[in-house]
Amino acid sequence: MDKKSNYKPIDCNFYDRLEAWSVRKVEVNICLTDTDSLTTGVIQDLYIKEKAEFLLLNTGQEIRLDKIASVNGIPLDETCDY
């Protein structure tokens, strides 16, 4: 099964936070669920690709939003039910 088809939309309020950090050019610390690693950068773009939402950091790293555990210490533990 295609991993993209398993995408689970993130909480709408958390998406709004990501947009605000992007617009304000705030450096963010992102902890990922699948690797438990921490990455840092400024969110350059939020977009949809192949039916999944992503963000792009100024470092060039692309992150699928449902793979985020937390940003700046704020946990992402809810999803948007459509």
Domain ranges of the chain: 8-75
| Each residue's pLDDT tens digit, 32-68 | 988 878 999 999 999 999 999 999 999 999 999 999 9
Whether residue 80 has pLDDT greater than 70: no
Architecture of domain 8-75: Roll (2.30)
Average pLDDT, the chain: 89
pLDDT of residue 40: 97
More confident residue, 34 or 29: 29
Contacts 24+ apart (CB under 8 A), 68-71: 68/10, 68/30, 68/31, 68/32, 68/33, 69/31, 69/32, 69/33, 69/36, 70/30, 70/31, 71/14, 71/17, 71/18, 71/21, 71/28, 71/29, 71/30, 71/31
**pTM attached to this predicted model:** 0.85
